[in-house]
Chain A
Amino acid sequence: MRNLLRLTYKYSHIGLFLVLEAVALGLLIRQNNYHNYAFVNASSDVVGTLYDWRSNVTDYFSLKEQNEQLAGTNAKLMSNSEDAFLLRTYNNLKTTHDTFYIRKYDYQQARVVNNSTQLLNNNITINKGTRDGIEADMGVIGPDGIVGFVTHVSEHYAVVASVLNKKKFNVSVRTRKNHYSGIVKWKGYDPQEIVLEEVPGYAQLEAGDTIVTSGASGRFPENIPVGIIVKVEDAEKSNALFARVRTSTNFHNLYFVYVIHNLQKEEQLNLERAARDQ
């Protein structure tokens, strides 16, 4: 009996190892569940607050770059605003109450408080949450193009699955020149390179073509830049093309992003659901 006890004691650490390892792997597997909010941590307010403190310090080191990015965005906006255009002929007409356009997208600015590119599934934490009207599934863009979409929201923070999230992210795109449609995915490892897939075989892609969002999902407006084709490759087995694409957003220095509210998303989704259920 005593020997048995001594033996159990001697090997008890192996048992403990197996138990702890099982718990860890169990947590890891549970986390794969997309809707498991309980363990989604980076958006939790504790770590979010820590990240906030850090970026309060580190933001000073990149003020110049941030300013250039923001000034660039401003210049782009100004050159697109109403004031930049002149009405060519109808000098005697006046706009009074313009009901010709209705607003479809609303943009909200947010600051990046945490960002990763070294994992296989990279997330970005931003400092806006439910309190600011952020909801899951909203698209996020940066000054140079597409960034990702919101996956989890807490009161003051939100987690964005970036383009560099192998598991969660894909977006339907098209080439700006010829409107060939396709899907963009990240394959891991090089944070500057994504892959354009599911392009029809007859499409004529060229290095240098710009890839933009197609707006099909309703997450992003049309024509948001995604990247530029670096190299076109033939997939031997199927008659589909794929191409290596350089991302237009540099995920290494991302300071401010814009969250997109699609005001007609509900309508689009309801209609599509009704059509599917028929």
Chain B
Amino acid sequence: MFALIVQNSIRFVLLILLQGLVLNNIRLNGYINPYVYVLFIMLLPFETPRWVVLTLGFITGLSADYFTGTIGMHASATVFLAFVRSYILKLIAPREGYEFGTQPRLQEMGFTWFLFYCSIMVVSHHSWLYLIEAFRFSAMPDALLKSLFSSGLTILLIFFFQFLGFKVKQRT
């Protein structure tokens, strides 16, 4: 339990700093930008109570907002993501349910499952994020296109990080 909390706290700090200081500067083609910090919400253990996921979602979003100067925008998207997480997990649960103590990671759940999970989560987060931004400035079709491209990049990066973690685990 304690080890889990430490592990997740470290992951939180690393992902937020990575997002705020490095990934916010990618700006492919001027406006395609990955938001990999959602990985933190995705990787919380299956048994995490819903209210904890929601609260953590709010904190994660607010921290990301702090760097982009858009207080509330990322927070609203991550709270939404935290809310739909339990439903998505139920939707794509394996037939025998989730084993106790496993985490929603690539190496534990397999490639296909993780691809499904990752795609649904990232696309719902990014659509919400870009729609919220567009609602303030009314350019919906562009917002959807933006969210689609950015989702692709985020999913690629998340897989990259997951494989990275995989290799390290195998060697030790």
Interface residue ranges, A against B (CB under 8 Å): 12-14, 16-17, 20-21, 23-32, 39-42, 47, 50-51, 54, 115-121, 123, 159, 166-167, 188-192, 252
Contact = CB atoms under 8 A, between A and B. Distances in A.
Instruction: Place the interface of chain B in its size category.
Output: 35 or more
B82 to A, nearest CB: 8
Question: Which of A20, A26, A191 has most chain B Cβ within 10 Å?
Answer: A20
Given A17-B54, A21-B76, 15 more contacts: A13-B83, A16-B55, A20-B54, A20-B55, A20-B75, A20-B79, A21-B83, A31-B72, A41-B65, A116-B24, A117-B31, A159-B69, A189-B30, A189-B31, A192-B30
B27 A118 contact: yes
A190 B68 CA distance: 19
B70 A189 contact: no
Contacts, number: 111
B89 interface: no
Interface in B49-64: 50-51, 54-55, 57-58, 61-62
A27 B30 contact: no
Contact of A188 (B73, B86, B137): B137
B139 interface: yes
A120 B67 CA distance: 15
Contacts of B133: 119-120
B108 interface: no
Given A20-B58, A20-B79, A118-B33, A28 B70 contact: yes
A68 B154 CA distance: 34
